[in-house]
């Protein structure tokens, strides 16, 4: 059965589905079938990036699904090597060409790469691209509050979304509070900790037993109740459906806190601290 997904409203008034589909490493004709399966289950947000080299598969999946373009929310991301203004515009145009789409619903700067120091120039390109109708909403990924403050100070425009690493082992409490205070929607990448060591976690399993849900559903419901958009990836049709079937129950305060207590200061999957880590 197709699931209906609620949405959050971005500070520019655009609606974003509360849960979406992650596509890293899902590629080619087989990948397009996986993404079309997610759309058929009810996913209406698809997360891709120039660097995933699968924007073509995303566009093909949307056409295969038969769902009208304006009912699907497509996000893509600008790679670190194209932060120069002209190169950013060209990369965005290339992404749209690969996807065979006229516009993206959301376009993000993938990483701030602060040592390179050009994310402000990239942000100016995104502001203009939005004015020209190439993207409906503009945001960032992996930006720290100091980077966000810099954007605001120099351009007066704050991103609508910041997509960051967020899962029960790294709950980003302070960063999320900053987002909330500035009306930025938090989007959680690797929301399931890539299923490493988490599905067997005893505390999460106990909560799952209590609500008669899977551990994946408990984690994704926790993201939703935090007010974060999560983008779980799955190549399995069964898990795709399971992961969005989270709107018929609610975690109580105590269980939300139990999940929060699993967070560790060094809980990042790969130690990718945006103040130092760079990706091109
Ligand atoms: N902005 C950034 O810098 C950034 C960085 C990383 C990721 N992302 C985005 O975030 C998306 C999601 O993150 P991710 O792909 O790293 O990892 P993830 O969604 O946390 O986990 C995906 C893994 O979990 C498994 N899985 C999915 N549902 C499950 C369930 N219910 N029970 C057990 N296992 C389950 C999948 O295996 P099966 O396929 O076998 O189900 C897959 O191996 C990416 O695809 C990408 O779009 C963005």
Q: Is 24 in the pocket of ligand 1 (CB under 6 A)?
A: yes
Tell how far the Cα of 34 is from the centroid of ligand 1, in angstroms: 13
Give residue-wise pLDDT tens across range 27-37: 999 999 999 99
Q: Is 216 in the pocket of ligand 1 (CB under 6 A)?
A: yes
Query: In this structure, what are the phi and psi dihedrals at residue 137, rounded to the nearest 5 degrees?
Result: -140, 150
pLDDT of 1 = 65
Query: In this structure, what are the phi and psi dihedrals at residue 187, rounded to the nearest 5 degrees?
Result: -120, 130
Asked whether the predicted pLDDT for residue 3 surpasses 90, the reply is no
Burial (0-12, 13-18, 19+ Cβ within 10 Å), 133: exposed
Asked if residues 57 and 24 have their Cβ atoms less than 8 Å apart, the reply is no
Q: What is the position in ligand 1's atom list of the atom closest to the CA of 272?
A: 3
Mean pLDDT over the full length of the chain: 97
Give the Cα separation of 134 and 196 in Å (integer): 37
Strands (DSSP E) contained in the chain are 7-9, 15-17, 21-22, 45-47, 73-78, 104-109, 135-141, 161-165, 185-189, 229-230
For 13-31, what is the mean pLDDT?
A: 98
List the structure tokens of 122: 């990239």
Asked whether the predicted pLDDT for residue 151 surpasses 80, the reply is yes
Q: Is 195 in the pocket of ligand 1 (CB under 6 A)?
A: yes
The residues annotated as belonging to the active site are: 52
Q: Is 123 in the pocket of ligand 1 (CB under 6 A)?
A: no
Q: Determine the topology of domain 7-193+223-236 in CATH.
A: TIM Barrel (3.20.20)
Ligand 1 pocket: which of 20, 22, 188 to mutate (most atoms within 8 A of CB): 22
Q: What is the position in ligand 1's atom list of the atom closest to the CA of 189?
A: 10
Neighbours of 86 (CB within 10 A): 10
Q: Is 199 in the pocket of ligand 1 (CB under 6 A)?
A: yes
Asked whether the predicted pLDDT for residue 65 surpasses 80, the reply is yes
Atom 9 (ligand 1): residue with closest C-alpha?
189
Q: Is 221 in the pocket of ligand 1 (CB under 6 A)?
A: no
pLDDT of 131 = 98
Asked if residues 46 and 232 have their Cβ atoms less than 8 Å apart, the reply is no
Tell how far the Cα of 235 is from the centroid of ligand 1, in angstroms: 9
Atom 37 (ligand 1): residue with closest C-alpha?
234
Give the Cα separation of 12 and 69 in Å (integer): 20
Give whole-number Cα distances, 187 to 23, 31, 73, 153, in Å.
15, 23, 14, 23
pLDDT of 4 = 87
Percent pLDDT > 70 in the chain is 100
Concatenated DSSP letters of 15-62: EEESB-EE-TT--HHHHHHHHHHHHHHT--EEE--GGGT-HHHHHHHH
Tell how far the Cα of 192 is from the centroid of ligand 1, in angstroms: 6
Give residue-wise pLDDT tens across range 224-254: 999 999 999 999 999 999 999 999 999 999 9
3-state DSSP call for residue 109?
strand
Q: Is 175 in the pocket of ligand 1 (CB under 6 A)?
A: no
Asked whether the predicted pLDDT for residue 157 surpasses 90, the reply is yes
List the structure tokens of 232: 């779980």
Q: What is the position in ligand 1's atom list of the atom closest to the CA of 24?
A: 45
When pLDDT is cut at 50, 70 and 90, the band that residue 2 belongs to is confident
Tell how far the Cα of 152 is from the centroid of ligand 1, in angstroms: 31
Give residue-wise pLDDT tens across range 110-142: 999 999 999 999 999 999 999 999 999 999 999
């Amino acid at each position: 059965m197709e699931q209906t997904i609620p949405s959050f409203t971005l500070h520019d008034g655009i609606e974003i589905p509360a849960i979406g589909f992650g596509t890293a490493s899902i590629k080619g004709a087989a990948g397009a079938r996986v993404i079309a399966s997610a759309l058929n289950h009810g996913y209406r947000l698809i997360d891709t990036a120039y660097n995933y080299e699968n924007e073509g598969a995303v566009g093909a999946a949307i056409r295969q699904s038969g769902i009208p373009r304006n009912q699907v929310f497509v996000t893509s991301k600008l790679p670190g090597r194209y932060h120069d203004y002209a190169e950013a515009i060209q990369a965005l145009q290339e992404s749209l060409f690969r996807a065979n789409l006229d516009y993206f619903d959301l376009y993000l700067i993938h990483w701030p790469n602060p040592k390179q120091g050009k994310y402000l120039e990239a942000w100016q390109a995104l502001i203009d691209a939005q004015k020209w109708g190439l993207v409906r909403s503009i945001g960032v990924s992996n930006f720290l509050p100091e980077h966000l403050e810099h954007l605001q100070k120099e351009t007066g425009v704050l991103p609508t979304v910041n997509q960051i690493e967020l899962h029960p082992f790294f709950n980003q409490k302070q960063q999320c509070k900053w987002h909330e205070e500035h009306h930025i929607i938090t989007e959680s990448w690797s929301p399931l900790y890539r299923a490493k060591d988490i599905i067997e976690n005893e505390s999460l399993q106990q909560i799952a037993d209590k609500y008669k849900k899977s551990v994946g559903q408990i984690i994704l419901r926790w993201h939703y109740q935090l007010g974060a958009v999560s983008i779980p990836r799955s190549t399995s049709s069964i898990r795709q459906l399971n992961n969005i079937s989270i709107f018929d129950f609610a975690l109580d305060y105590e269980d939300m806190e139990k999940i929060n207590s699993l967070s560790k200061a060094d809980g990042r999957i790969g130690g990718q601290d945006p103040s130092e880590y760079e990706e091109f």
